[in-house]
Amino acid sequence: MTHNKKVIHINAGGEVGGGKTHIVSLVSSLGNDKAEVLVFEEGPVAVAARDAGCRVHVLGQKSRYDVAVLKRLKKFLNEGAYSVVHTHGARANFMLSLITGQLDAIWVTTVHSDPFLEFQEKGVAGKAFQQLNVRSIRRADHIITVSQALEEQLHEIGVPDEKMTVVRNGIAFGSAPTASSKKKSIFTMVHTARLHPVKGHDLLFESLKKAALPEWRVYLVGDGELRAELEREAARLGIHRHVEFLGWLAPEDVQRTVRSADVALLTSYSETFPLVLLEAAKEGTPFIATDVGDVHVLLPDARYGWLVPPKDASALAAALQEAYSEWEAGTLQEKGTLVYERTKQLFSLEQMAENTLAVYEKALKK
């Protein structure tokens, strides 16, 4: 991509978790001379982007329904002489779909998660938002999906293959972690996800009860509308003294928690290519994950960790028991080392940035 091409990444601004991390890390890796961030409202994305040294613009949208912002958005993008507008998230997609024909730039969007589940549990309004988001995505000049499974899903609703490219998430790796950072006195697990039905906390609790491990603790990193319900469920199952709800943590605290855990868990019913597993691999923490999205690419065989069918509490309980046995035997960390080496080789932040730039070049030549 030639030096005079400018790119701006757009998000509503309230993104947390993997979506926020993806946007900020990608823009940071592309560099301030190539990429900037625009958000509709002040929030976590703007804060994280500034902290990372990114150039940030805030449009000041009064609410998600404030379409008066469209005129300012179009003026800003055209006067800024951007070559590529890259959106992330449903609101950004919808706003761009309304003005895309009036822009001098091409429009690329990254679809981070299943658009047919994004507004689950939102009733009639959720179904309407879902339809608007899918319609908006289809209008983009090019679509990046973070998993092969997601690309196939979009293909099924009529998006042509030549309009899509898979660019899996990447992460910045440091030096190899050491086993000495792991706790030895009690078997500890970490589950990082918002407390939402799709993340499978109910499956996790049922499986932990079935596994009946001698002594253990699980740290739940994340928050959401299910917290009170999940606290009651843990008490009902009699596992509450082993479960610690940590809420949202600062990135360095998440990293510390994942690093100190013996195993990371992902129990989702739907994912694409979850950053939380890359973050676990970065710390040399092996993981047990449901076979959703492209998770199998991270765990090609049993040497690297455990891949279990989604919604199968018995299979997950068996994996927990096996991980505990390996922890007792002192061999569990071998899986963490293998998954670290594989992930560093295949899913670095530098590779994600290079692949994204290649998409821009392809879309600009059309």
306-356 pLDDT tens trace: 999 999 999 999 999 999 999 999 999 999 999 999 999 999 999 999 999
Do 118 and 43 fall within a single domain?
A: yes
Q: Do 142 and 208 share a domain, yes or no?
A: no
Mean pLDDT of 115-143: 80
Task: Find the mean pLDDT for residues 276-295.
Answer: 95
- Are 199 and 342 found together in one domain? yes
Asked if the structure places residue 1 within a domain, the reply is: no
Give the helix ranges, DSSP H, for the chain: 18-30, 44-51, 69-79, 90-99, 123-139, 148-156, 201-211, 227-237, 251-260, 275-282, 295-298, 313-329, 332-346, 349-364
3 pLDDT above the threshold of 80: no
Q: Are residues 46 and 103 in the same domain?
A: yes
Buried b (16+ CB within 10 A) or exposed e, 218-242: bbbbbbeebbeebeebbeeeebeeb
Range of the domain at 208: 179-346
CATH number, domain containing residue 301: 3.40.50.2000
| 162 shares a domain with 208 | no
Provide mean pLDDT across the span 72-98.
95
Count of the separate structural domains present in the chain: 2
Measured distance CA(38)–CA(72) in Å, rounded: 12
Q: Has residue 2 been placed in a domain?
A: no
* Residue 68 CB neighbour total at 10 angstroms: 10
Mark whether 279 and 209 lie in a shared domain. Answer: yes
Q: Is 165 in the same domain as 37?
A: yes
The reported pTM is: 0.81
First to last CA, the chain: 14
Give the pLDDT mean for 26-48: 91
For residue 157 the two structure tokens come to 């609703």
pLDDT value at 75 more than 80: yes
141/253 same-domain check: no
Across the chain, mean pLDDT equals 91
Q: Summarize pLDDT for 188-224 with one digit per residue, the tens.
A: 999 999 999 999 999 999 999 999 999 999 999 999 9
CB-based contacts of 178: which residues, under 8 Å, 6+ apart?
284
